[in-house]
Structure 1
């Protein structure tokens, strides 16, 4: 379902490429895991919080308030904590696509909201984690872009994203569980519109 939605959005973007504008965004993000997983009585596993480099590409559909943004973050590493003790490390790519509504107004602040899908693409694992499966989920974002008075094409942005991610993890002893990361991602960055 996520692949089909992404494919349809990309087709729509390419079909109307002459009628809109592109924006490149480069940000730094704090990724805060919001959940933990109980795998046995008194045994809790969770992913730690991390920092990441989060570039993205956004396409604006002509003069409409709609856009589509594809997050192209570098691989993100999470320590896996068992009762607050590190037992493994997992690394993944978190591609995320959102359809956005931008609230145009007469100020240099442009608030926006977005809804879409995200993926957890396993990149590497270390420690007692033997295998980590891919996972897919819903993603949402809210934020704003600010363009200073002397800026023609550039601006700064702040946004907050939520991603529903629970990849299946298999430990070396055969134990399997869904690692409920479900992160909230806080981002500050620079934007440039072409």
Structure 2
């Protein structure tokens, strides 16, 4: 998987040198306002410490989140840009499988610090789909012990901050000749976290989780 992601990222980054320039001017800035759905996974990949004897078939999931987001994009070449996003997304972690319905973590907030390099294709008529890839760093804060985790004696929970990778695809469609566009965007993040549940000074449960969210957005863009 890591070799595939690296190859795909390299192909995206070399596209500007393999295709002709389009009408978009270098040095311009595009701002996008989105309605965004963040759809994480959250399943357990590995249990490292278990002093509470999780039942066989225990699993977890992270709840979806729907938030407004802003993207800022700078064109360093006519069809090549760098983009960053601004948003925070709240999530809970609930049990699945043998733990179905259990309230494990409440009010975890993710700040996905992300930069993508994007190549824009010109299909004529201003219709411009794009591909992108780049690094991300998930800052996770605010998490509280859920009611059922507290019943096991848990007094504190922590979700680790982690680096990851993101792939991106989308399209911009002009709505007028003054820079206003309809924008649709989809990202797939590849990033995990370590959940640590403590009881007093003792680590009662520590497990590795795959977050790997899909992030889908629709909104308006303006270039100036």
What TM-score, normalized to structure 2?
Answer: 0.72
Tell me which of 115, 139, 147 is aligned to 2:174.
Answer: 147
Q: Tell whether the 8 Å contact from 1:161 to 1:185 is kept in structure 2 after alignment.
A: yes
For structure 1, which runs of at least 5 residues remain unmatched after alignment?
1-17
Q: Rg bigger for which structure?
A: 2
Match of residue 91 from structure 1: 109
Provide the aligned C-alpha RMSD in A.
Answer: 1.8
The residue number in structure 2 matching 1:105 is 123
Asked whether 1:114 is paired with 2:132, we answer yes
Contact 1:58/1:69, CA 8 A, preserved across alignment = yes
Question: 1:188 — aligned with what?
Answer: 218
Deviation at 1:142, TM superposition (A): 0.4
What is the distance in 2 between the residues matched to 1:48 and 1:97? 24
Deviates further, 136-145 or 84-93: 84-93
Please, which runs of 5 or more residues in structure 2 have no aligned partner?
Answer: 1-24, 48-53, 150-155
Q: Quote the Cα distance in structure 2 between the aligned partners of 1:132 and 1:159.
A: 27
User: Deviation per CA, 1:55-104, whole angstroms, max 9, x where unpaired?
Assistant: 111001242x100100111x211110122322212112011110000002
Q: How many residues align?
A: 174
Contact 2:30–2:222 under 8 Å retained in 1? yes
- Answer yes or no: is 1:21 the counterpart of 2:21: no
CA distance in 2, matches of 1:19, 1:111: 17
CA contact (8 A) 1:160 1:185 kept: yes
Q: Deviations over 1:153-185 (max 9, x none)?
A: 111100110011211111134211122110011
